[in-house]
Structure 1
Amino acid sequence: MFLEIEHSENFEGSLFLRFKEVGLAKPLMQVKLYERSIQGEWCDVVGWTDNEADPVCPAFGQPVEDSGAGLAYLVFGGMCGIRIRPVEIKEPWSLESPYQWGESHLLLADIGDLRFQEP
């Protein structure tokens, strides 16, 4: 699998990465992150595109091989990366919000840190 993220207001860099897929990608709702809290913090996650009228698209979680950790879970979204906000923040997705941030992707080690959408 190839992951290409373009420079945008959501993610200031650009990148092109290659991963070896181990399973199928599934639509994702939330991820648990540990940057701001040692106990972890559940965050909503969506994909982000360059469509100015509606930039939100689905985010996905997919098992991949990671050379440093073995099995990992790649979190990815649109051509402009993913957008994240803590679950307690109930506001529309926006580049202007100080409570939201963009990333190119995430690579998480524990499947327990991903909440997938119900089928």
Structure 2
Amino acid sequence: MFIEVESNPNCTSSVFLRFKALGPARPITHVRSYDRIAHGEWCEIVGWCEDPVHPLCPAMVQPIEDSGAGIAYLVYGGNWGLRLKPESLTEEWSLESPNQWGEPYLSLSSESDIRYDPHGAS
């Protein structure tokens, strides 16, 4: 599987990466992020697309091969990557919010840092 995200208003990093998938992709609603708080914080997560009218799309996770850990969990979204916000934040999704941030993708080491979409396919 391939992930390609070009620099855009959601995230300035460009990536083109290849991964070996170990299982099917599933939609998710939250991830635990350790970027801002050392013990982690649960964040809502969505995929972000270039469509200005409907930029939100599902965030997906897929188990992948990892040379160090054996299995990692690749989180990916739209062609503009992923958008995250703390789950305690009640504001709408927006590129203008200083409380939200974009990532091209995430690679998580533990499935316990993922909340699956209960309405998504398993």
Task: Give the TM-score normalised by structure 1.
Answer: 0.96
Answer yes or no: is 1:51 the counterpart of 2:51: yes
One-letter code aligned to 1:7: S
Separation of aligned partners in 2, 1:11 and 1:68: 27
Separation of aligned partners in 1, 2:48 and 2:91: 16
Q: Deviations over 1:69-119 (max 9, x none)?
A: 220000000001000000000111100001000000000000000000013
Following superposition, the deviation at residue 13 of structure 1 comes to: 2.3
Following superposition, the deviation at residue 37 of structure 1 comes to: 1.7
Following superposition, the deviation at residue 67 of structure 1 comes to: 2.0
Following superposition, which runs of at least 4 residues in structure 1 exceed 2 angstroms of deviation? Answer: none
Separation of aligned partners in 1, 2:54 and 2:37: 31
What is the alpha-carbon root mean square deviation over aligned residues? 0.9
One-letter code aligned to 2:71: L
1:2 corresponds to which residue?
A: 2
1:12 corresponds to which residue?
A: 12
Answer yes or no: is 1:80 the counterpart of 2:60: no
Answer yes or no: is 1:94 the counterpart of 2:91: no
How many equivalent residue pairs? 119
